Structure 1
Amino acid sequence: MPSTRISTRQGWIAGRPRAVIEAVQRALLTGLLIPEHDRCIFLQEFDDDALITPPTKGPQYTVIEITLFSGRSLDAKRRLYQAISDELALFDVPAADIKVVLIEVDPENWGLSGKPASEIDLGFKIDV
């Protein structure tokens, strides 16, 4: 049930936003073992004047913030980080230009259909 935001500089995606979103979705499937239908990804592209980045980073510097239920193992997180790097390499994004931030939320602090997620059968395991 992760909620994912991809933020990057405008221009390098060049008409491929859906492909980038799908690449990150594949990485989420690989890393977190979520079901295929579990999708919530937003892509934001910024003009040069709307962001500053570390001087050592290239024009494809990308920050991916993933808000997810707490409970994933370090191995799952490692799989996720590697899968994101592998998927974005298909767009020539260097691994050194990718920053992934995980924001872990207890299921009782996540509302779905008017209920806390801790009271809903999610249909998948969190502790992978």
Structure 2
Amino acid sequence: MPLTRISLRRGKSPAYRQAIMDSLYLAMRETFEVPEDDRFMTVSEHDGDNFSYGSGFLDIARSDDLVLIQLTVSNTRSVAQKKALFRRIAERLSESPGLRPEDVFINLVEVARENWSFGHGLAQYVQEG
């Protein structure tokens, strides 16, 4: 975990999409204590008529390069860690692939640790006993 879902408008290159995934992974490793190889990500591309956003909501000037990021994580991090994660994601995505911080929208969904199964139909985070 985390489970990462990335949504953006159709038309970006494979290298651009890969740079988003790589930058997100690095930011999570740096701020959220995500272990090596704990990387589960999807990218969904949308035509313009299926991608709607508030271009000025909260006085943030967004463009069609907006990337919507939803991270599902265990509810084990502090507010300080969450703030550090948000900041580092924006910094990393600014570096590569060159996104403006205004075009980085992040939603963090927290779940209890027992709500994960990484394979074999097991709840790996639940201690039997």
For normalisation by structure 2, the TM-score amounts to 0.83
Structure 1 residue 99 and structure 2 residue 105: aligned? yes
1:119 aligns with 2:121: no
In structure 1, list runs of 5 or more residues that go unmatched: 121-128
Q: Deviations over 1:46-92 (max 9, x none)?
A: 11121111133201111100001111011211121011101110223
Stretches of structure 2 lacking an aligned partner (at least 5 in a row) = 57-61
Q: Distance in 1 between matches of 2:80 and 2:55?
A: 31
Secondary structure (helix, strand or coil) at the match of 1:99 reads strand
Identity of aligned residues (%): 28
Which aligned runs of 4 or more in structure 1 are off by greater than 6 angstroms? none
Contact 1:58 1:97 in 2 (8 A): yes
Retained in 2: the 8 A contact 1:31–1:81? no
**Alignment partner, residue 9 of structure 1:** 9
Q: Which residue of 2 aligns with 1:123?
A: none
